[in-house]
Structures are given as C-alpha cells and as structure tokens.
A = this chain, B = another copy of it.
Amino acid sequence: MQIFHDEHLSIDWSAVRFDDVKLTLTRKEFELLAMLSQNEGETIPREVLLETVWGYRSGTRTRTLDVHVRRLRRKLGIYGEEYIQTIFGVGYRFARLRAPRPLVIPGPATYAIGA
C-alpha cells in the first residue's frame, strides 16, 4: 500500500524511493516520514509528533525530533528542505514538491557536444 507519491518521491510501507533510487531509512525515520507525508500539507505540532512517533508525553524535553528531521532531510537530498518544512514555533509540515527538476549540466565537455 502506498502512503505518498509524486513525481520524484515514492513512499510505500515496503520501501521509499527517490527518483528510482531506494532510500534506506531507519525505523524511526520511516515512521516520522510516514506520519508527516500521510498528512501532506498539514502542519503537525512537535508535541503531536513526539507523542505519536515516540510515545513521549507532552512536556518531555528533547531534541530528538529535530535530529531525526535533520537525518531525514539529508536522505531526501537537495529537496529535503522542500519536502519537510519547518513551521517555526509549531512543528513540521510535509509538502509535495512544487517545480519539476532543474536540469543543470555544468562542464566544458557539454559545450563541445553542442558546438
């Protein structure tokens, strides 16, 4: 069963792939991503994430969520910050990727072909 899909990212219970490259997420990373992507577009408060994914009771002082968001973003590559947005003072929000993929081909060899 699929949790979320768009042009680049595909999230299933069996696997997560970004542009046909399989991402290996840890359990917590996956649970967090699932939680966020299942509520695409909605801002989920920190407290809610900490409670649903970690089972922490409200009031627990921890930075775990932030660190996991960080690791998740890194695995999502350059679009990490696009997919997982910070809502300052509230929580995080998962969003579908807007613009297609910018195609940039640097390097001299490229020009030689076109010339």
Contacts and interface: CB of A to CB of B under 8 A. Distances in A.
Most B CB contacts (10 A, CB to CB) among A14, A88, A113 go to A14
Given A14-B42, A88-B26, A115 B112 contact: yes
Interface of A: 14-15, 22, 26-27, 41-43, 88-90, 93, 95, 108-109, 111-115
Contacts of A113: 109, 114
Contacts of A89: 26-27
A112 B108 CA distance: 11
Nearest to A27: B89
Contacts of A41: 14-15
5 contacts: A14-B43, A26-B89, A27-B89, A112-B114, A112-B115
A90 to B, nearest CB: 7
A26 B42 CA distance: 16
A15 B43 CA distance: 8
